[in-house]
Every structure is written in C-alpha cells, then in structure tokens.
Amino acid sequence: MTKDDDFSEYVSARWRVLVRSAMLLGCSLQEAEDLTQTTLARCFTSWSKVQAARHRDAYVAKVLINVHRQSRRRRWWDEKPADHLPEQGQADMTAHVAGVDAVHRALGDLTPGQREVVVLRFYAQLSEQETAEALGVAVGTVKSRMSRALELLTNNSHLVDLRDGGNS
C-alpha cells in the first residue's frame, strides 16, 4: 500500500470522528471541517511519523488538539457566536437540537483541558494512555481532569433535562 493509499484510507475512516471531536471542542461545523483539514494536511506531510506512531489515532488527535489551541490563540473578528440557534424549519428536530445545545453548553463550562480529555476519551474513544499521549500529559493528569470534568457534568444545569429524559 502506498503512502497516498494509506493516508486516503485513514481519512475515509476517521474524518467524521475528527470533525465531531473538533465540534465538541467548541468549533462550528465549518470551523471543525477546516480544523480537521489543517490537521490532516499537517499529518500528511509527516505521514511516515504517523504510521510509525504506537497509537496512530492518538498522534492525529494530538495534532488536532494543537491546531485547535493555535486557532484559539489567534484573534478572529469575522464570526460572532450566537446564544440561539437559527430556526431549523422542522418542529420534530427541536428536542434533538436542544439536546445537542445542552451538551455543547455543558462542555463549554469545562476548562479547555477537561473538555479535551472528555472529547478524546468518550467521543474519539482513545484509551487513557492514548489520551495522555495526544495531550502530552501524564495518565494521572488525564484521570484527574476526567474526574473533575465528570463531577462538573454530573451537576451541570444544562444537562438536567437530558438526565430526566426530557421530562422535567
């Protein structure tokens, strides 16, 4: 298998997970796609390093986290976040949109480090070791951030309706 074939296969398999991970880190869909594209472009230029990595997904996740952190350090004046989502035109999507919004708000209440750990562990499904490698921290740091994040999420007011199954 050539480098291009291996890379294309990886992108096909992991694109959606990388985009959703970026969204869960706080990006809009368009920004998440741009972030993922930048991440994969950086990985392609050093694909031999990615292939040689003990945990390929952890290596790519580390690049994604670094690209996300760099994007947050830059000043951005074009887009302004809104408190309310635009009308979807479908009443049956209201509960879904409200649930997604609640999760995003709850994740937004976490520190960036806690949010990164939650996204990598629960959405990207990396192990504690892979998450530690991706973030460049010790496994104990991953565990403590996760513990604090789960405590905050358990008591988060945005998630009350989801815990009750939407029946509150």
**Percent of the chain residues topping a pLDDT of 90:** 58
Q: How far apart are CA 158 and CA 79, in angstroms?
A: 24
Residue 168 binned pLDDT confidence (cut-offs 50, 70, 90):
very low
Can you point out the beta strands (E) in the chain?
A: none
pLDDT tens for 101-131 read 888 888 889 999 999 999 999 888 999 999 9
Residue 21 binned pLDDT confidence (cut-offs 50, 70, 90):
very high
42 pLDDT more than 60? yes
163 pLDDT more than 60? yes
Residue 33 binned pLDDT confidence (cut-offs 50, 70, 90):
very high
What local confidence, expressed as pLDDT, does residue 87 receive? 63
What local confidence, expressed as pLDDT, does residue 164 receive? 59
CATH of domain 3-76+90-163: 1.20.140.160
- Find the mean pLDDT for residues 20-35: 92
Q: How far apart are CA 23 and CA 2, in angstroms?
A: 31
Q: How far apart are CA 15 and CA 32, in angstroms?
A: 11
Q: How far apart are CA 61 and CA 166, in angstroms?
A: 33
Q: Are 120 and 135 in contact (CB under 8 A)?
A: yes
| Domain ranges across the chain | 3-76+90-163
Q: How far apart are CA 89 and CA 20, in angstroms?
A: 23
Q: How far apart are CA 127 and CA 20, in angstroms?
A: 18
Please list, residue by residue across 21-43, b when 16 or more beta carbons sit within 10 angstroms of its beta carbon and e when fewer do: bbbbbbbeeebbbbbbebbbeeb
